[in-house]
Amino acid sequence: MSARALAIAAALVLALPAAAVASERHPTLSELEGEIICPTCHTTLDQSDAPIARRIKHFIAGRIAAGDTKSEIKRTLVAQFGTGVLASPPRKGFDLLAWLLPLAGLVAGAVAIAALAWRWSRRRAPPLAFAGAGGDGARLDAELEGRLDDELRRFDE
């Protein structure tokens, strides 16, 4: 990798946390509307037009104008409405299961598929064996075996 590509990659990696911090310190109304659930209709605020959703939007706009961070605004809303107001559950306590169980399910599914694929790749069909060839395949009936011997003899002549 060239030095230029490495410098660009490093700049991108360093810029990502800065964008997250900027979003935390100076949230936008449209950003928070997608992260907060309307208590009445149980959709995000950007999809709801219920009276309570309009009041919450007005509250959020006022808190942004006052200089509150995203975490402060969410904390206030959770104190008023409970954790059900958040579009994504907190990543702590019992709510952590909502984040971990889907990942555990994906890992378990991948392991099961890998195990089945490995098992199917190891299973081979038994080779076909013919009577008289030393195999343990099904024996031909005597009449058919005689006809086969006659045909083979004619073929050799």
Residues pairing with 37 in the sheet: 44
Query: What pLDDT shows up at residue 136?
Result: 47
The total domain count for the chain is: 2
Instruction: Work out the number of other CB atoms within 10 angstroms of the CB of residue 75.
Output: 12
Please give the average per-residue pLDDT across 131-153, as a whole number: 71
Q: Assess if residue 64 is contained within a domain.
A: yes
pLDDT tens per residue, range 8-31: 766 665 655 545 445 677 788 888
Q: Is the pLDDT of residue 137 over 80?
A: no
Task: Note whether 12 and 79 are same-domain residues.
Answer: yes
Q: Assess if residue 107 is contained within a domain.
A: no
Q: Is the pLDDT of residue 120 over 70?
A: yes
Please give the average per-residue pLDDT across 131-152, as a whole number: 71
Query: What pLDDT shows up at residue 62?
Result: 92
Residue of higher predicted confidence among 48 and 3: 48
Task: Note whether 132 and 81 are same-domain residues.
Answer: no
Q: Assess if residue 120 is contained within a domain.
A: no
Q: Assess if residue 147 is contained within a domain.
A: yes
Residue numbers of the domain that contains 63: 3-88
Q: Assess if residue 57 is contained within a domain.
A: yes
The CATH number assigned to the domain holding 16 equals 1.10.8
Query: What pLDDT shows up at residue 16?
Result: 57
